[in-house]
Chains A and B, each alone.
Chain A
Amino acid sequence: MLKCESMNLFYGEVQALWDVNLEVKEGEIVALLGANAAGKSTTINAISGLEKLSSGKILFEGTEIQKKDPHEIVEMGIVQVPEGRKLFSYMTIEENLELGAYSKRARANFKQNLETVFELFPILKERRKQLAGSMSGGQQQMCAVARGLMGNPKFLMIDELSLGLAPLVVKQLFEVLTQISKRGITILLVEQNVKQSLAIANSAFVLKNGRLALSGKASEVANDPTLHQAYLGK
């Protein structure tokens, strides 16, 4: 479904990605792991079109997307749930969800998607008139994921789902992810929470200092010593 070929990306003089190759197959949950500043967020921002590659290709369903604008990429069905949730805190849950449905493909399925989202997160339905900024961290993260789903994605990228959340909430969110996956949405999960991500993922990629350090099936990656090195160094 998604194929990244030797991606190189610079922030000014600093090279953030070095020849990174990724492949995500349809229907999978793929974990993108690595320590801070390994290039995880940069990778998904490049896929979203927020950062431009200096060389390399990103193919989505066979089409090159590395030169497209972010809104064109969303229109193709790639949606990102950004790190730190980035909700519109002065707006209600409902308004946030509506804003998630900008693209044509999303508007066509608006009602259906809203139902799905409320089914996955009943609490959001209950509090849909409440300001997003007034909710707890976990509920805000649910709202962010829900807002992403309102974009009717084929491919959903989630940046730091578990960031700053209580373990119980994280567990709930991960359960919802598997449900989302069952609905046929491919997921790329950027995470610090290695154990839980690998438990639900089919395959995983590990980045280290902007380079791909390890990739393979989730179960294999979990037992590979390179994974520990990627986080803790040698």
Chain B
Amino acid sequence: MRGLLSKKSIFLFILLIAAFALPNFLKNKFYMNIVIMVIFYAALSGSWNILAGYAGQLSLGHSIFFGLGAYTSTLLLVKMGVSPWLGIIAALIMSMAVGALIGYPAFRLKGPFFTLATLAFSEVIRYIASFWKELTNGAMGINIPFKPGLATMMFRTKEPYYFIALGMLLLIILITFFIDRSKMGSYFIAIRENEDAAEVLGIPITRYKMYSMLISSGLAALTGVFYAQYILFIEPEAVFNINFSSQIALMSIIGGMGTIFGPIVGAVLLVPLNEIMRSAFSSLNGLNFFIYGIVLIIVVSWMPNGILPTITNQVKKRGLKVSTDRKGAGKIDTAN
């Protein structure tokens, strides 16, 4: 069985130490910002991955949960002076409640209804945030007054943000890891692979879809709180944006949906690419989306399961030359 000292776990351990040591070496603010954004996107896409990658419920409006998290903690901070650390709890409750509200009717229906519901809801919420000016300051957005301190989760340097983001990502990886290894994870995958089969085996599919939704929306809210405190400005167009939702999804899809580290691979590839494109071709607005499209087409054509699963399969093939009589194991769905 998998030992604690397998090559993989040693590699991950070294990576973890490197991650903690990184701020000592990286002093350039521009690069530090990119690294923080990579971690932030990996975490956010990781939250999406639990719902869509594991349980197979394709959400194309994940910015709803992210944005609600950002708005909830920010409004509490700006209007009532509540510390964002406490705001996290309110943000979690808010996002999970809305997640349940979307999931409750949509999970009962089969087919693309859930995806459509997330798309529709994200538009509705964007409109609410844009037009409920008394509460949200409308399309102008909210500027968070800069008051540095641990209690306000605002810092003059990038390092504290880096460690908060890293902690958040580690939490999400850990939760994903436990889901991956638990019974719940196999029920999620069963639902993703074949909902009808899961249902006749007696798995209460609506309930498990709801579990994945609650976990996923809660974690997305967490990243939303972080984002608001890091950027110190939120507006409906930025946080409830459908393009943003599809970016969240794309990172996991490209990295490898339904794998623990897929979202990280996707974020490591796409976020720097996006930043470089944006600064290199700043006059050509929209080129970054063009490049996104090309990367997506390349990955989907040559690595339909995402980058990470393709690499692991290659490694396994090399390592295990003498496999039992498998017929193209895991590649083509021959059972159905």
Would you call A218 an interface residue if the criterion is a C-beta within 8 Å of the partner chain's C-beta atoms? no
Interchain CB contact under 8 A, B198 and A80? no
Interchain CB contact under 8 A, B198 and A82? no
Would you list which residues of chain A between 49 and 87 have a CB under 8 Å from chain B?
50, 69-71, 73-75, 79-80, 82, 84-87
Interchain CB contact under 8 A, A106 and B202? yes
Interchain CB contact under 8 A, A131 and B336? no
Would you call B279 an interface residue if the criterion is a C-beta within 8 Å of the partner chain's C-beta atoms? no
Option from B186, B189, B329 in Cβ contact (under 8 Å) with A133: B329
Main secondary structure of the interface of B (DSSP, over half): loop
Interchain CB contact under 8 A, A74 and B202? yes
Residues of A within 8 A of B320 (CB): none
Residues of B within 8 A of A71 (CB): 199, 202-205
Instruction: Say whether, besides A89-B334, A91-B189, A99-B186, A82 and B200 are in contact (CB < 8 Å).
Output: yes
Least CB distance from B130 to A in Å reads 39
Interchain CB contact under 8 A, B327 and A134? yes
Would you call A178 an interface residue if the criterion is a C-beta within 8 Å of the partner chain's C-beta atoms? no
Option from A85, A86, A131 in Cβ contact (under 8 Å) with B326: A131
Q: Which of B202, B332, B336 has the most CB of A within 10 A?
A: B202
Would you list which residues of chain A between 207 and 226 have a CB under 8 Å from chain B?
none
Would you call A21 an interface residue if the criterion is a C-beta within 8 Å of the partner chain's C-beta atoms? no
Would you call A43 an interface residue if the criterion is a C-beta within 8 Å of the partner chain's C-beta atoms? no
Q: Which of A48, A70, A80, A151 has the most CB of B within 10 A?
A: A70
**Number of A residues with CB within 8 Å of any CB on chain B:** 34
Would you list which residues of chain A between 35 and 53 have a CB under 8 Å from chain B?
48, 50
Interchain CB contact under 8 A, B327 and A151? no
Would you call B328 an interface residue if the criterion is a C-beta within 8 Å of the partner chain's C-beta atoms? yes
Would you call B333 an interface residue if the criterion is a C-beta within 8 Å of the partner chain's C-beta atoms? yes
Would you call B201 an interface residue if the criterion is a C-beta within 8 Å of the partner chain's C-beta atoms? yes
Would you call A95 an interface residue if the criterion is a C-beta within 8 Å of the partner chain's C-beta atoms? yes
Spell out A's residues near B (CB within 8 Å). 48, 50, 69-71, 73-75, 79-80, 82, 84-91, 95, 98-100, 102-103, 106, 130-134, 140, 147, 151
The 7 closest A-B pairs by CB, nearest first: A74-B202, A89-B335, A86-B197, A87-B335, A71-B204, A80-B200, A103-B202
Provide 9 A-B residue pairs closer than 8 Å at the C-beta atoms, listed in order of the A residue: A71-B205, A87-B336, A88-B190, A90-B189, A95-B186, A99-B190, A102-B187, A102-B201, A133-B335
